[in-house]
Amino acid sequence: MGRAGALAVPGVLSAEECTATAQFVLRQQCADGSIPWYDGSHLDPWDHVEAAMGLTAAGHWSAAWRALEWSAATQRKDGSWPMVRRGDRIEDAGADTNQCAYFAVGLWHYYLVTGRTDGLARLWPTVEAAINFVIRAQHPGGELGWAVGENGGVADFALLTGSASALQSIECACHIAATLGHDRPRWRWAGNRLAAALRERPEAFADRSRFSMDWYYPVLAGAIRGAAAQARIDDGWADFVRDGHGTQCVRDQPWVTSAESAELVAALDAAGETDRAIAVLADLQSLRDPDTGGYWTGRNLPDLVLWPQEQTSWAAAAVLLAADAVTQTTGGSALWRDAGWPGAVDELVDSEGVG
């Protein structure tokens, strides 16, 4: 079955099913290395990297590397990528800061799985440009403007989910820098300010509390750990989790989704709740398509209608990454368990000391 089969979760996902899901993601990849949502669909930089990470975990290292190289080749001079691209056509030229930062997570994950330091060195300029672009969009209070417009203007509000994910991206970028012998105090300073905003100033972020991602993402990305993470999980459980089905995307709509469910699996595992993580992973298998190996985006409850009628590369990849997290199979399986600012990069510097 190859490396993908090693991600099997007894009683939940067989080796054959893991292999089929990895093949599903591979089928979505274009000849140039890019990975759209599905064949013929659009692409955004975050989900493209997520799909590449699924391929990395499944042992398709060459395909994953081609995806990362595609990102490097299409990065703009300011370090960003457009929000939406369809083939060679840009459909939204603005840049989502979290999406741009996520390249660092994908590259660090690739290194953790493969051990390829040469890969880090080759794509270091891409990471450096991306993170410098992202932290230029940081607000004075530490939160991250969620987007930068085509005209260069920074959005006047921040998103909690995006900022939490970007914090992990900055952490991974700092790990890459340290591995290569580079020192980036400016990144550490930005990370400290962003972490403080996430932990101490929830009012700094736009109210998206109806979305499950705002519930679990600070745990998944390591902004919150320990007793606070456990309390956060417990507080939101009844609002978002539907036994036998998975996780709702939003509190007030009976729509369970495969991607949010898979991410919750990794968040639960990172919080030490591996048994509950495996239970959610089992529940989300109700969204699996046994014919393709992919996963439907979501299902409405209680009528059990699949909607929308799509299976995305990144949802399938998220399931592979969740399986890796609970089985601790690859070198990248502890990516979320080990996340946690300040962690290994805990130096606090002031704005006058940054380079």
Q: How big is the chain, counted in residues?
A: 355
DSSP state of 298: E
Domains in the chain, CATH or no CATH each = 2-232+330-353 (1.50.10.10)
Q: What is the pLDDT of residues 233-280, one digit of tens each?
A: 999 999 999 999 999 999 999 999 999 999 999 999 999 999 999 999
Q: Answer yes or no: is pLDDT of 81 > 80.
A: yes
pTM value surpassing 0.85: yes
C-alpha 117/C-alpha 180 separation (Å) is 8
Pair 3, 332: CB distance under 8 Å: no
Q: Answer yes or no: is pLDDT of 2 > 90.
A: no
Residue with tokens 């975990």: 57
Q: What is the pLDDT of residue 148?
A: 98
Helix (H) or strand (E) holding 122: helix 117-135
Helix axes 103-114, 45-57, angle to 10 degrees: 10
C-alpha 324/C-alpha 41 separation (Å) is 27
Q: Answer yes or no: is pLDDT of 32 > 60.
A: yes
C-alpha 39/C-alpha 5 separation (Å) is 24
Q: What is the pLDDT of residues 273-316, one digit of tens each?
A: 999 999 999 999 999 999 999 999 999 999 999 999 999 999 99
Is the bond preceding 342 in cis, omega lying within 30 degrees of 0? yes
Q: Answer yes or no: is pLDDT of 108 > 60.
A: yes
Question: Which of 37-41, 68-72, 349-353 is predicted least confidently?
Answer: 349-353
Q: What is the pLDDT of residue 342?
A: 78
Q: Answer yes or no: is pLDDT of 348 > 90.
A: no
Average of pLDDT values for 112-137?
98
In the chain, the amino acid numbered 274 is: T
Structure tokens at 110: 């690739």
Q: What is the pLDDT of residue 1?
A: 52
Q: Answer yes or no: is pLDDT of 35 > 60.
A: yes
Q: Which residue intervals of 115-184 are DSSP H helices?
A: 117-135, 160-180
Q: What is the pLDDT of residues 82-97, one digit of tens each?
A: 999 999 999 999 999 9
State whether residue 241 is helix, strand or coil.
Answer: strand
CA distance to 56, 82, 185, 190, 343, per residue, from 355 (Å): 33, 27, 7, 12, 21
State whether residue 205 is helix, strand or coil.
Answer: strand
Of 344, 331, 322, 266, nearest in space to 109 by CA:
331
Q: What is the pLDDT of residues 203-233, one digit of tens each?
A: 999 999 999 999 999 999 999 999 999 999 9
C-alpha 50/C-alpha 217 separation (Å) is 15
